[in-house]
Amino acid sequence: MVLLAVGFLLTFGVYFLSSKKYTGYLRDDEAIFNKLPDTLDIVTLSGSTTYFTYKDAPMGYQYELVSLFADSLDIPIKIHVAPNTETMLDMLKRKEADLCITPQAVTRSGRQRWRYTGPEQLSGLVLVQRKVKNPADRLDKITRFADKRITIVNDHRYEERLQHISEQIGSHIDVNVLQGDTVTDESLMGEVALGNIDYTVADRMLAKLVRTYYSNLDVSLEIGFRQKLQWIVCPEDSILAKTLDSLAADIPQNNNYQSIYKRYFELSKGAYLAPVKMIRSGVISDFDHIFQQEAKRLVHWPWQLLASIAYFESNFTPEIIGWSGARGLMGIMPATGRIYGADKAALLDPEVSVRVSVSCLLEIRKYLTSVADEEQKLKLALAGYNAGVGHLADARRLAEKFGYDPSVWDGNVEECIKLKREPKYYNDPVCKSGYLRGTETLNYVNNVFGRMKVYQQKTSK
């Protein structure tokens, strides 16, 4: 999937999800409606469940929810990304933002400082384990934690909860606390999926999201009480709060909300992987002639590159629409299509999709003119195609800062793009595009490049 954005700033974005306007009590009371801000300034942390950019497009579950609400009121939004919770809350207190959409725990002390508002979310801790064929091998209750080794991040909540469970069941639990900048809930969930560790603990909502990348994970066992979380505003912003509460009450019946939830927490996002098969000798797909024609514009890069991209973006299915909204054979985002004169419907046309894809690759290659080695340039371009040029630029700046070569993907930029899932690194001053699941981009580059090489061997004359 790819989006090429022009002039997009991470700290400021306007994004609409629905053309349906809200027709409730606000439209019947212009006095109330007129007290709402002309533009809704929103502060948040960057993260997988809040706000991030993907292919230079703004995304995130909380972001899309507030965009849905703002669009229903016909009010534009501005997103301000804070580097940490303290700064985020200070911005809200100083009225530099109207609303915080990084959900906060609803507490008695919190009610003295803030007005909780918007959709309610229940959070808690879950055990992350691999799915098993034999039900007897699954940990289905905390009494079965005895003598099990559970690996966790250095988070006192997790450690305290496991210690409490150990006391409850009267048995030892081998709690393995890992230290380090690159150890996160997400990374440990990946280690469970890969079989490197057996169990970890994670936040319930994050676990549900990460599970969509790893089909073999089981996150159903809750190990702690759920806690209510909500957005917050300053106490004096009661009109805005009441408005958001009214809109949130409609969520169960809102089809757009159901679609957002499904995309983030239910639809699989894992890469499609299968053995390389040819539809007949020397022929990769029914679209080879399109790849061959458009690849003439790429000069140094083979047409099999386009075939490999198409495989991973759509499995050669031209009418597909991905979880992020990317469309067609080459996984083009609608905003990118518009830049190159193609609307949503046109992107489902294979010829249009490949044409736009090649145009995007050429644009990314312009950004990489200083890279001399064509293979490294291609791999860097694939990273930009998958994640967006903004994230690629961040990874290259991190590479330069930490002594890697920003012009080399192998062993250099690839190491730094993985760091973009860690707050310490995506909040670094050299980074402008925030959070990214960098391991997904790393895998994408390796998989596309590797399959391209196989395709070249199988189509050589």
Question: Per-residue confidence at 110, pLDDT binned at 50, 70, 90?
Answer: very high
Among 194, 192, 195, CA closest to 219:
192
Q: Chain-wide mean pLDDT for the chain?
A: 89
What average pLDDT score do residues 89-113 get? Answer: 96
User: Could you read off the pLDDT of 62-72 as tens digits, one per residue?
Assistant: 999 999 999 98
Residue at 435: amino acid letter: Y
pLDDT at residue number 5: 37
Q: What tokens appear for 395 in the block?
A: 């990874």
Asked which of 32-41, 91-100, 220-229, 450-459 is least confident by mean pLDDT, the reply is: 32-41
Q: Give the CA dihedral 274, 279, 281, 284, nearest 10 degrees.
A: -70
Residue at 347: amino acid letter: L
Helix (H, G, I), strand (E, B) or coil at 406: coil
pLDDT at residue number 106: 94
CATH number assigned to the domain with residue range 18-118+229-266, chosen from the 4 options 3.30.70.270, 2.60.40.1730, 3.30.70.20, 3.40.190.10:
3.40.190.10
246 phi/psi in degrees, rounded to 5: -65, -40
pLDDT at residue number 278: 67
Residue at 461: amino acid letter: K
Domain range annotation of the chain:
18-118+229-266, 125-225, 287-460
**Spatial distance between the Cα atoms of 374 and 12, rounded to a whole number of angstroms:** 35
List the beta strands (DSSP E) in 223-288. Answer: 227-233
**Spatial distance between the Cα atoms of 312 and 270, rounded to a whole number of angstroms:** 10
Question: Per-residue confidence at 325, pLDDT binned at 50, 70, 90?
Answer: confident
Q: Which of the pair, 96 or 55, is modelled with greater confidence?
A: 96
Residue 236: pLDDT over 70? yes
Is the domain spanning 287-460 CATH 3.20.20.70? The answer is: no
What average pLDDT score do residues 390-396 get? Answer: 97
Question: Per-residue confidence at 271, pLDDT binned at 50, 70, 90?
Answer: low
Structural fold of domain 125-225: D-Maltodextrin-Binding Protein; domain 2 (3.40.190)
pTM over 0.85: no
pLDDT at residue number 138: 95
Please state whether 315 falls in left (phi above 0), alpha (psi between -120 and 50) or beta: left
Among 319, 320, 285, 318, CA closest to 303:
285
pLDDT at residue number 441: 95
Asked which of 109-118, 148-157, 337-346, 452-461 is least confident by mean pLDDT, the reply is: 452-461
SS3 per-residue string spanning 8-29: CECCECCCCCCCCCCCCHHHHC
Q: What tokens appear for 374 in the block?
A: 């064509």
Instruction: Count other Cβ atoms within 10 Å, centred on residue 226.
Output: 12
Among 364, 270, 371, CA closest to 323:
270
Residue 8: pLDDT over 50? no
**Spatial distance between the Cα atoms of 420 and 423, rounded to a whole number of angstroms:** 7
Asked which of 140-144, 190-194, 266-270, 393-397 is least confident by mean pLDDT, the reply is: 266-270
Q: Which distant-in-sequence residues (6+ apart) come within 8 Å of 157 by Cβ?
A: 125
**Spatial distance between the Cα atoms of 102 and 95, rounded to a whole number of angstroms:** 16
Q: Check for a shared fold between 18-118+229-266 and 125-225.
A: yes
Q: Which of the pair, 449 or 14, is modelled with greater confidence?
A: 449
What average pLDDT score do residues 242-266 get? Answer: 88
Asked which of 10-14, 249-253, 318-322 is least confident by mean pLDDT, the reply is: 10-14
